[in-house]
């Protein structure tokens, strides 16, 4: 039987989740600010415009990733709130492990299942 996280460990993950959430929200705000700038920017030659739109596409990509991450964080926070955050993989019922959770506090799956999903 897999060992569920104790309260101290959950508290630690909770802190990490809140920290990541704040960081992402700040990043997202930064990205939308720079998008506003792009449309109002005075772009003199094509080189400027190419560089700006490259940044812009890059921003969109980052933004998408950050939004996905934010969703996972909210999912994990909700689980903590409901008292069902256990640190157990949602797929195979083995422990995700504190080591992995410290790096990715919103991880839903253990590393084996994650690799399995990524391969698909
Ligand atoms: Zn698993």
Beta bridge partners of 78: none
pLDDT at position 44 is 67
Question: For residue 116, how far is its CA from the centre of ligand 1 (angstroms)?
Answer: 9
Sign of CA dihedral 59, 64, 67, 69: negative
Q: What is the mean pLDDT of the chain?
A: 90
Which of 4-18, 52-66, 103-117 is predicted with the least confidence, judged by mean pLDDT?
A: 52-66
| pLDDT exceeds 70 at position 26 | yes
The answer to whether position 118 is within a domain reads no
pLDDT at position 52 is 84
The answer to whether position 15 is within a domain reads yes
The answer to whether position 17 is within a domain reads yes
pLDDT in tens, 44-54: 677 787 888 88
The answer to whether position 117 is within a domain reads no
The answer to whether position 100 is within a domain reads no
DSSP structure class, residue 111 = H
Say if residues 95 and 86 touch (Cβ distance below 8 Å).
no
Question: For residue 90, how far is its CA from the centre of ligand 1 (angstroms)?
Answer: 7
The answer to whether position 76 is within a domain reads yes
Q: Which long-range contacts (CB under 8 A, 24 or more apart) does 28-35 make?
A: 28/63, 28/66, 28/67, 28/70, 31/59, 31/62, 31/63, 31/66, 34/59, 35/59
pLDDT in tens, 68-100: 999 999 999 999 999 999 999 999 999 999 999
The answer to whether position 23 is within a domain reads yes
Domain containing residue 25: 7-86
The answer to whether position 34 is within a domain reads yes
Question: For residue 6, how far is its CA from the centre of ligand 1 (angstroms)?
Answer: 19
In 1-120, alpha helices (H): 7-40, 46-82, 98-103, 111-119
- Counting residues of the chain whose pLDDT is more than 90, the rounded percentage is 70
When divided into structural domains, the chain yields a total of 1
């Amino acid at each position: 039987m897999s060992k569920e996280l104790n309260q101290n460990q959950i508290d630690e993950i909770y802190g990490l989740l809140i920290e990541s959430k704040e960081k992402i929200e700040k990043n997202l705000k930064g990205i939308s600010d720079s998008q506003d700038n792009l449309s109002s920017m005075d772009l003199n030659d094509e080189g400027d415009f190419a560089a700006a739109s490259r940044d812009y596409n890059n921003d969109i990509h980052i933004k998408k990733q950050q939004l996905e991450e934010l969703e996972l964080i909210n999912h994990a926070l909700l689980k903590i709130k409901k008292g069902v955050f256990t640190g157990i993989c949602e797929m195979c019922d083995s422990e995700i492990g504190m080591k992995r959770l410290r790096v990715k506090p919103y991880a839903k799956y253990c590393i084996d299942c994650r690799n399995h999903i990524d391969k698909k």
